[in-house]
Amino acid sequence: MGRRHYKLLQELGRGSAGVIHLALDVRDERLVALKHLSREAVHRHHNAVARFRREVRILSRLRHPNLVEIVACGRSGGRPYFAMEYVDGKNLNDVVAAQTLTLRQSLEIARKLAEALDYIHEHGIVHRDVKPSNILIDRRFEPLLADFGLAHDKSEVDLGLTASGTAVGTLRYCSPEQCAGDSYKVDGRADLYGLGVVLCVMITRRFPKCPESMQDLRGRFDREYRRLMTRMLVPEDVIRICRKTMRYEAKKRYASARELARELARALERLSSGSRLARSA
Q: Which helix (H) or strand (E) holds 226?
A: none
Query: Residue 165, CB half-sphere, CA atoms under 13 Å: how many?
Result: 0
Nearest of 156, 173, 169, 167 to residue 58 by alpha carbon: 156
Query: Residue 50: enclosing H or E segment and its boundaries?
Result: helix 48-61
Residue 92: count of CB within 10 angstroms of its CB: 23
CA 26/CA 267 separation, integer angstroms: 46
Q: Look up residue 37 and give its amino acid.
A: L
Catalytic residues: 129
Residue 78 neighbours by CB under 8 Å, 6+ apart: 42
Kindly state the helix (H) or strand (E) to which residue 136 belongs, with its residue range: strand 135-138
Is residue 218 a contact partner of residue 196, using CB atoms and an 8 Å limit?
no
Contacts 24+ apart (CB under 8 A), 8-14: 8/34, 14/38
Q: Are 8 and 48 in contact (CB under 8 A)?
A: no
> How far is residue 107's CA from residue 125's CA, in Å, rounded to a whole number?
24
Among candidates 107, 120, 79, 78, which has minimal Cα distance to 235?
107
